[in-house]
Chain A
Amino acid sequence: MNWEHIILGNRLNMDALPHEWFTIGGTFGFILLPIAAVLLLGKIKGWKWLWGEWFTSVDPKRIGIMYMIVAGFMLLRGGLDALMLWLQQALGSSNMPGFLGVQHGYLSADHFQQIVTAHGNIMVFFVAMAFIFGLVNFIVPLQIGARDLAFPFLNTLGFWLYVAGVLMVNMFFAVGGQYAATGWLAIAPLQGKMFSPGVGVDYWIWSLQISGVGTTIAAINFIVTIIKMRAPGMSMWKLPLFTWGSLCSMCMAVAVFPLLTATLFLSFFDRYLGTHFFTIAGGGDPMLYTSMIWMWGHPEVYILVLPAFGVFGEVVSVFSRKPIASYVTAVLGMIGVSSLALSVWVHHFFTMGSGADVNAFFGLMSMVIAIPTAVLMYVWIATLYKGRIRFSVPMLWFLGFVWTFTIGGVSGVMLGIPPVDFQLHNSLFLVAHFHSNVVGGVLFGIFCGINYWFPKFAGFRLNERIGRNAFWFWIVGFSLSFIPMYILGLMGATRRLDHYDASTGWQPLYVVMLIGGLTIAIGVALQLAQILASVIERKRLADTTGDPWDGRTLEWSTASPVPEYNFTHIPTVSTRDAFWEMKKKALAKQKFEDIHAVKNTSAGVWISAFAFLAGFGFVWEITWLWVVSLAAIVISIVMKAFNEDSEYVIPAADVKKMEAERLAHKPKAPTAAEADSAEDMSVWELVKWLMAYAMEVVRTKRWRKL
């Protein structure tokens, strides 16, 4: 036995360290840069603040904001992947000269496939899911009139497991140098050791596994919270639509994420222990994997889109100044979508020989699911009818969604017809369909929600002018990049194509797609500028009323930003649109009461850190590392579980004092609804401001203070 083998395992050696342009760049950009940012933040604002008030926080509002920050960062990372793919495809015609020593385009075929996989995984797991969890964390307790989640500790654990997953998916830059080149769901038998001997697939397994467990935990937490912790009087038929969407989504997550966990374990056993579940030799069955992964994979997109549907339901009603057109229909539509979503998965592999009868059933189900979705769409559009519509930024995102999601939905029905699918299977038409729904539905819903609820997050609303600019760049860029994709799909271009023959005549359309991608990139840059400009103007944009949009649901009855305990008095609800009703009649003053709260805990951080180390040990087959890490996880859980001193009480007198202090410090700016949004800073004013600021810093030599 030599020691190097025992310590480093069978696979790890010096070659694993970064030595190519993208691994070096990735290590700096996606591992060292965020770590440096965190260190800088701790240095400026104090470690106690960062660790004690944020990292170990059990407050769903803080956890929600952390989810969204990490997800925003990963959006940039996944977006960069997308641009790299588009650039490669625009250059990938075989009449183009070689570049960086590669025959077609500038990426090798293998590297291109790795980026495809990473883009898919990051955007679905670490961007869309995380943004959704961020919004749900922040908003759902406020909408149901609760002070906290049912299991505050599990919430921080879920978040930190997600962070461990994020770290794992980027870790290949620093150690290993390759990610799975298998497509985002690593279809068997390609994922097996026979065809993918490197560590890429192992990184894939463990980043999804760790964050997936976090998702299951979080979903259980939200179900219990919504079912058990609603304010008195809030029956299920009075729940706000966003909470309904979240509940449906979390129920689906609980139903399918365990399937993902089990399937990933089987893939892992195949690779690590040499079992035969999905192998082609040894009595395994790759089709088993296909079925299992899509049983999770299809509902997953509905898990993402239902909370987004909920956001649109809220926004369309508030910005039309009337109640949702038919609340009961909307709720039944959401329940319909979420139950049907569990019985359509075979449409992902109509061509793989399930037989005409099975295909017919799943084809029919795939078409039937369009009905509740379309019903929801009609409910939203009917809400606009005769409403007094305000075209604020959230409303724009909603209208953009109507356009993109309808295209995506109709193309989805086309793909759901088995004979059509046999023609379009595996083509770019499918990719365009998927992106129309996930970008046009989920991501637009997230942007809509962030613009809508930002006053609750930060205490000031977002800049309207730059927000509008960002929206238009997004929607034009979206159309430029995905409509050519539909056409290319119909022309026969397959997905994951890193180069193609010039005689196909595809190149002009690929170039249009790249231009669309760059337009979207400008949109993203403008969104960052929007946030920056709003921070600069935060005093003018301050939301002093807590209700800038004339909202209808309970979250708008709290102050902006929301106090730690959400509500000084738990509200009693008697109608839908509870806050709308309350605004009509003045509330009786209530006595302050003691508030039970949960102490912050670092156990979530530790357990997730050990989970990351265990995953790393499994990837590199370092036995001692995963054994020690798993033992540490067990010990941490036992220590946390038997610690009975986890709660504290905020006495009524303190609550009263905090409330009085909050009211005394209320800024005296005009409310956002009164302020003229045309006065918001424009992009050029922002640029001028930044230049003046930079001059000021240089002139006063302020950097010396750091």
Chain B
Amino acid sequence: MAEALTPHQAHEEAANERATFGFWVYLMTDLLMFSILFAAYSVLHGNTLGGASPRQLFSQPVALTETLILLTSSFTNGIGMYRAREGKKNQMLVWFGITFLLGLSFLGLEIREFTKFFHEGHTLTSSGFLSSFFVLVGTHGLHITSGLLWMGTTLGFVMARGLTPGLVRKLSLLSLFWHFLDIVWIFIFTIVYLQALV
């Protein structure tokens, strides 16, 4: 591996390194945004105004299913990333396709849960607890949605253009994003859904 890089390769390599580092810094800023939402939830989750409490409202089996789906999608995403680095376009498309579907089903479950709450009369405006719950979990859902949008367009471009270095870079950043959302969800699962049982 000691062969010297051409100036063009070195330029690409440096660009990759900058993009990855910059994206890490971005993820940290995103994490800080979530920290405000977690703080708001921690302060406000007792303010139910006589409405449903976290314990009465949440269904842990659904949340656990969501968790498992998301964790699995991170796993398939990881495999897809290996295939992308190896330049195996079709295998990569399959693994990322599975990731996409898992992400979509996670989102579906979350939307189902939200609509159920709405129909039962538990809305954003009901209490400080529900405001902070919907905004915290909804922001995560919005991130998943933008991740799916990003994944969908990138996969489309991969089909059209093949695995160009630019697209592989986008996929690797996307993977970071996806794993990051996984970690945030673990915190949501713990602080929102599991803590409701305490």
- The tally of residues in B whose CB lies under 8 Å from a CB in A reads 41
Contact with A along B22-42 (1 / 0, CB 8 A): 100110111011111101100
Do B33 and A261 have beta carbons less than 8 Å apart? yes
Interface residues of B in 1-43 (CB under 8 A from A): 7, 11, 14, 17-19, 21-22, 25-26, 28-30, 32-37, 39-40, 43
A residues apposed to B, CB below 8 Å? 150-151, 216, 220-221, 223-224, 227-229, 254-259, 261-263, 265-266, 269, 273-277, 282-285, 288, 292, 594, 596, 634, 638, 641-642, 644
Give B174 Cβ to nearest chain A Cβ, in Å: 11
Query: What 16 new A-B contacts, CB under 8 Å, besides A275-B135, A283-B44, A284-B131?
Result: A220-B29, A228-B14, A228-B17, A262-B36, A266-B135, A269-B124, A276-B47, A277-B40, A277-B132, A282-B49, A282-B125, A282-B128, A284-B44, A284-B128, A292-B39, A642-B153
Task: Tell yes or no: B53 within 8 A of A by CB.
Answer: no
B65: Cβ under 8 A from any A Cβ: no
In the complex formed, the residue of A with least CB distance to B170 is A641
Residues of A near B190 (CB, < 8 A) are none
CB proximity of A653 to chain B, nearest CB, Å: 16
- Assess the A216–B29 pair: CB atoms within 8 A: yes
A interface SS class: helix
Interface pair A255/B32, CB less than 8 Å apart = yes
A151 & B18 in contact (Cβ 8 Å cutoff): yes
Contacts A224-B18, A258-B32 given: A282-B157 contact, CB under 8 Å? no
Contact A273 B125 (CB under 8 A): yes
Q: Tell me the complex Cα distance, A288–B47, Å.
A: 13
User: Is B129 an interface residue when CB atoms closer than 8 A count as contact?
Assistant: yes
CA distance A641 to B146 in the complex (A): 14
Q: Does B166 contact A (CB under 8 A)?
A: yes
Chain A residues with Cβ below 8 Å from B153 are: 638, 642
From B19, B30, B37, B125, A274 is in contact (CB under 8 Å) with B125
Pairwise interchain contact B43-A257, C-beta atoms closer than 8 A: no
Contacts of A257 in B (CB 8 A): 29
Interface core residue of A262, A265, A282, A638 (most chain B CB under 10 Å):
A262
* B interface: dominant SS: helix
| CB-based contact B43/A288 at 8 Å | yes
Q: Which of B36, B37, B39 has the most CB of A within 10 A?
A: B36
B131 adjacent to A288 (CB under 8 Å): no
22 A-B pairs within 8 Å (CB atoms) are namely: A150-B22, A151-B18, A151-B19, A151-B22, A221-B22, A254-B28, A257-B29, A258-B30, A259-B35, A262-B32, A266-B36, A269-B131, A275-B131, A277-B131, A283-B44, A283-B127, A283-B128, A285-B43, A285-B128, A594-B7, A596-B11, A644-B166
Q: CB distance A258 to B29 under 8 Å? A: yes
- Cβ contacts under 8 Å, B19 to chain A: 151
Tell me if B149 is interfacial: C-beta within 8 Å of chain A: yes
Q: Tell me if A220 and B125 are in contact (CB < 8 A).
A: no
B40: chain A residues at CB < 8 Å are 266, 277, 288, 292
B16 smallest CB distance to A (angstroms)? 11
Q: Are A262 and B33 in contact (CB under 8 A)?
A: yes
CB-CB under 8 A from B115, the residues of chain A are none
- Contact in complex: B47, A285 (CB < 8 Å): yes
Q: Which residues does chain A contribute within 8 Å of B124, judged by CB atoms?
A: 269, 273-275
Q: How far is the CA of A332 from the CA of B124 in the complex (A)?
A: 47
B36 and A292: CB pair below 8 A?
yes
Q: Which of B11, B26, B34, B47 contacts A283 (CB 8 A)?
A: B47
The verdict on B48 contacting chain A, using a C-beta distance below 8 Å, is yes
B119-158 to A contact mask, C-beta < 8 Å, 1/0? 0000011011101101100000000000001000100010
CB A215 to nearest CB in B, in angstroms, measures 11
B112 to chain A, nearest CB (A): 21
Residues of the A chain whose Cβ atoms lie less than 8 Å from the Cβ of B22 = 150-151, 220-221, 223-224
Chain A residues within an 8 Å CB radius of B18: 150-151, 224, 228-229
Give the chain A neighbours of B132 by CB distance below 8 A: 277
The 10 closest A-B pairs by CB, nearest first: A283-B128, A283-B47, A262-B36, A275-B131, A258-B32, A274-B125, A258-B29, A224-B22, A283-B127, A262-B33
Q: How far is the CB of B23 from chain A (nearest CB, A)?
A: 9
Asked if B30 contacts A276 (CB within 8 A), the reply is: no
Residue in B closest to A292 when the chains form the complex, CB atoms: B36
Cα distance, A276 to B131, chains bound together (Å)? 6
In the complex, residue of chain B having the shortest beta-carbon distance to the beta carbon of A296: B36
If the complex has contacts A254-B29, A638-B153, are A277 and B170 also in contact, measured as CB distance less than 8 A?
Answer: no
B105 at the binding interface (Cβ < 8 Å): no
> Hey, which chain B residues are within 8 Å of A285, CB to CB?
43-44, 47, 128
In the bound complex, residues from chain A placing their C-beta under 8 Å from that of B149 are: 634
B60 interfacial contact with A, CB 8 Å: no
B127 touches A282 (CB 8 A): yes
B27 to chain A, nearest CB (A): 10
B194 → A minimal CB distance (Å) = 22
B164 within 8 A of partner (CB): yes
B18 CB to closest chain A CB (Å) equals 5
Closest B residue to A154 using CB positions: B22
CB-based contact B25/A283 at 8 Å: no
Q: How far is the CA of A699 from the CA of B26 in the complex (A)?
A: 60
Please, which residues of chain B bring their CB within 8 A of the CB of A258?
29-30, 32-33, 36
Shortest CB distance A516–B (Å): 40
Q: Tell me which residues across on chain A come within 8 A of B11, comparing CB atoms.
A: 596
Output the least CB separation between A602 and chain B (Å). Answer: 20
**A292 vs B18: C-alpha distance in the bound complex, in angstroms?**
31
Is A276's CB under 8 angstroms from B125's CB? yes
Q: Which B residues lie within 8 Å of A255 (CB)?
A: 32
Highest count of chain A CB atoms <10 Å: which of B37, B125, B128, B132: B128
Q: Which residue of B lies closest to A223 (CB)?
A: B25
Instruction: Indicate if the CB atoms of A262 and B49 lie closer than 8 Å.
Output: no
What's the nearest-Cβ distance from chain B to residue A651, in Å?
13
Per the bound structure, the CA–CA distance linking A151 and B36 in Å amounts to 27
- Chain B min CB distance to A121 (Å): 21
Closest to A224 in B: B22
Residues 90-115 of B at the A interface (beta carbon under 8 Å): none
How far apart are the CA atoms of A151 and B21 in the complex, in Å? 11
Q: What's the minimum C-beta distance from B156 to chain A, rounded to whole angstroms?
A: 9
B 150-184 to A, binary, CB cutoff 8 A, 1 in contact else 0? 00010001000000101000100000000000000
In the complex, the answer to whether B33 meets A259 with C-beta atoms within 8 Å is yes
CB B52 to nearest CB in A, in angstroms, measures 13
**Chain A residues near B29 (CB, 8 Å)?**
216, 220, 254, 257-258
Q: Specify which of A220, A263, A292 lies most central, judged by the most chain B CB atoms within 10 Å of its CB.
A: A220
CA distance A269 to B125 in the complex (A): 10
Contacts of A273 in B (CB 8 A): 124-125
Which residues in B have their C-beta under 8 angstroms from that of A151?
18-19, 22
- The interface residues of chain A lying within 8 Å CB-to-CB of B47 are 276, 283-285
Residues of B within 8 A of A276 (CB): 44, 47, 125, 127-128, 131
Closest to B132 in A: A277
Residue of A whose beta carbon sits closest to that of B153 = A638
Task: Please measure, in the bound complex, the distance between the C-alpha atom of A283 and the C-alpha atom of B41, giving whole angstroms.
Answer: 12
* A284: chain B residues within 8 A (beta carbon): 44, 47, 128, 131
Please give, as numbers and ranges, the residues of chain A lying within 8 Å of B30 by CB-CB distance. Answer: 258
For residue B50, which residue of chain A has the nearest CB? A283
Enumerate chain B residues within 8 angstroms of A266, measured Cβ to Cβ.
36, 40, 135
Q: Are B43 and A283 in contact (CB under 8 A)?
A: no
Q: Which residue of B lies closest to A287 (CB)?
A: B43
Contacts of B127 in A (CB 8 A): 276, 282-283
Contact of B44 among A259, A269, A277, A634 (CB under 8 A): A277
